[in-house]
Amino acid sequence: MKLYDYPGSQNAWKVRQLCAHLGISYDTEWLSIFEGESHTDAFFERNPAGAVPVLELDDGRCIAESNAILIYLAEGSDYLPDDPYERAKVSQWLFFEADYVQSTIATLRHWNLTGKNDRNQGQLEKRRASARGVLGNLDRYLTGKRFLANDLYSVADIAVYAYTHLAHEADLDMTAFPAVTGWIDRIRKIVGNQVPVRYYAEDPHSTNDL
């Protein structure tokens, strides 16, 4: 298998992390996304959205969207339940992450770490308010719970953790969300340091727009 990746992508980090858990080996093709390497005709064939990560299977078929890749790779493992209800609960949080976390926490972090706050000044406060709402929803749900789905560590936790544990890098104050920070501490102990977070600062082109 081959993973089309960008070092600073937390969406790609999710896939790297699950592969580490499962002991899955793969080749990596690094793309310079801020120089347009994910917007070529060849890459659009792999993912019409022109985004990483994309997993290319040995037979050439491709899967785009990080959470779809997680589901594919986790099939038959402890990270994705077989029971239809329990699997639906995992999917619930994968959809939550894609809809709410990425549009708020992930976007704010991207702007903040790549020097784009000024050019998005008109959207900042509304986006921050939305992010605090997302964190509040998570905090209410996680109060008294260890994990997101079925009280078992799963791809749901990997997906939501990817950007949520870096919310402070989006200039979001986490002190008001003790259940979230407690959950972050639990997940951090599980994931360890095998798959480190990589930063936009590695890329001199990251101040460009995508």
pLDDT at 6: 98
Report residue 101 as tokens: 């976390």
CA 178 to chain centre: 21
| Domain 2-77, CATH among 3.90.79.10, 3.40.50.970, 3.40.30.10, 3.40.50.300 | 3.40.30.10
pLDDT of residue 190: 98
Model confidence pLDDT, tens digit, residues 103-148: 999 999 999 999 999 999 999 999 999 999 999 999 999 999 999 9
3-state DSSP assignment of residue 55: strand
Q: Tell me, which fold does domain 84-191 have in CATH?
A: Glutathione S-transferase Yfyf (Class Pi); Chain A, domain 2 (1.20.1050)
d(CA 15, CA 170): 22
Q: Which two tokens stand for residue 131?
A: 């992010």
Q: What is the pTM of this model?
A: 0.97
Percent of the chain predicted with pLDDT > 90? 99
Angle between helices 66-74 and 155-164 (to 10 degrees): 150
Q: Which of 75, 57, 83 is nearest to 149 (CA)?
A: 83
